A and B are shown apart, each in its own frame.
Chain A
Amino acid sequence: MTTVTHKIKESSGDRTFMIVVYAILAVVLIVVLYPLIYILSSSFSSPSAVSAGRVWLWPVDFSLRGYETLFKNPQVLTGYGNSLFYTASGTIISVTLTVMMAYPLSRRSFFGRNAIMMIVTFTMLFSGGLIPTYMVVRELGMIDTRWALIIPNAVWVWQVIIARSFFQSSIPDELVEASEIDGCSDLRFMGSVVIPLSKPIIAVLVLMYAVGQWNAYFDALIYLKTADKYPLQLILRSIIIQNNSGNSVMDAMKQVERQQLSELLKYSLIVVATLPVLIIYPFVQRHFVQGMLVGSVKG
């Protein structure tokens, strides 16, 4: 039936309008997509092609030199390992704490729920600032420990709001009442009813926190001092932005070759650092959208 309504002949004005819309969208598509393709193609090209500016769309003189060099660099490997560790442990802690906060707040009968909600959302509007927060982390003896990257930013208010909205709309009050009559304790109810029913929201939380943790770098910059604890993003910054090209592997090579390779290395590094997120991206996108919608319904 809907197709019939669409088949109604469009006026010429509408047709022109649609042509303009499609044209603009096509330009947007190219503007967004092209840089991504360019980076990917460069990373698979030969060092000389990259530094001569010969790459335009597809890889030129296909080569894996960039990636080979990268995975021989001990700094990059340590960074990768560290980032995996921070992402895994940080996500587990963050998701656990978020669910622990959001579920009680979703219960209508929970006394103090509005007050706690106010306390939590206020932190979105106002904060003590960088230095006072730094002082707390220092007082707790977390400076230059791995904890500093996992704990101080563990819970995001927005995630609590999203999770709370989900619990409110998907765990019916009748279920709570019925379980209470059966003498089921709140903890048991959470463990054997709430958690199994909440797989979608837990997936959203896991994805959001994992992406956030993988991409984070500022906490590492201010709290870490020892290089073996650096996450990949910090290594990336030192190699690309500060131009300390991972010298250790390239010392022996000739000057020109070294320079060419360091240029190529940057492209490969960008791809490698974004890879984990890109792999889960299509999956992430769907859930992200859902999560955002659930959250904005309340918002």
Chain B
Amino acid sequence: MGLRKPPLREQHASQGASFTEFGGWEMPVEFDSIRTEHAAVRESAGRFDVSHMGEIEVTGPDALALTNRLTTNDVSELDPGDTQYSCITDEEGIILDDTMVFRLPDDGGPHYLFVPNAGHDAEMEDRWIEHRDEWGLDATVRNTTEEWAMFALQGPDAQDIAAEATDGATRDVSRFDATFLDVSGVRCFTSRTGYTGEDGFEFLCPWDDAETVWSALDCQPCGLGSRDTLRLEMGFLLSGEDFHPEEEPRTPYEAGVGWTVDLDTEFVGRDALERVEREGVDERFRGVKLLERGVPRHGYEVVDADGERLGHLTSGTMSPTLGEPIGLGYLSADEAPPGTRVRVLVRGEPKQANVVTPPFIDT
């Protein structure tokens, strides 16, 4: 099966982008260099094509009930135009995906849109439909992933660039709020959200208008390479790397996002998670900072001074902002709390590191 392509695949190629496969999509990984793009987002602004992210629309009288029973957070808290970070778990409380849930600005009923990670859209569409039918709920579920392009504008200058592109309309959008507004005349679903730690916006626009909107967000184009280093510095989870239902099965409590779990709601995995919450976790998602030369990477083991295993890393890089090697992973909750001196096995060589609590930087 061929890779899915974002609408601006060819334009990005003509801008000099190199590409990578991610979640079944062929996406730009780098336009100039990861360092340049990363710095642009931290110091001024960058724009990302994240059209590989999924979109599932849930409408109808039971849209709220269905989404509330399939995500860990309390969707009923959302007013029109609100957004919520959440997890989707299985019966055992294992994270299948993490997602943003949006309650669309009111147009006659509570309508929801959620954004699964790349390659998860069909699975989530099926999951919602199967449970709707099993529970006899009245809701319409539509996978609109290939109707929407999605762009993220991030960085300290994002406010001004967005205001320029929208005749000031984004000035009225508060943090974590969402609304429909025009970008260069194109109606976009716009939220003041992102995944880099910087202020900014995410724009959903019709697939065919992607070029107009992308051009209007005039700043450094950025690829998935810098998106990864930016989210890593913040300690944000990457689906498939930091959790994966088979290869890295984790509950939200282990993954450091226990705050997305509302045990007062009834959802798939609730009872298992109540048990985990009561009994505690063996391993927790932590940061490590290497004190020696080397770069921590996915899969590297973490041990104590005697070589006893403490856990392993799921992500790592040389932080472009700090110039220091940083990693994320799951470490023994009892043996490796923040402040512990540990060793990361870099190709078998034990390198000294400190356990820290992410984020690695202040934004």
Do A and B associate with each other? no
| B interface residues with partner A (beta carbon < 8 Å) | none
| A interface residues with partner B (beta carbon < 8 Å) | none
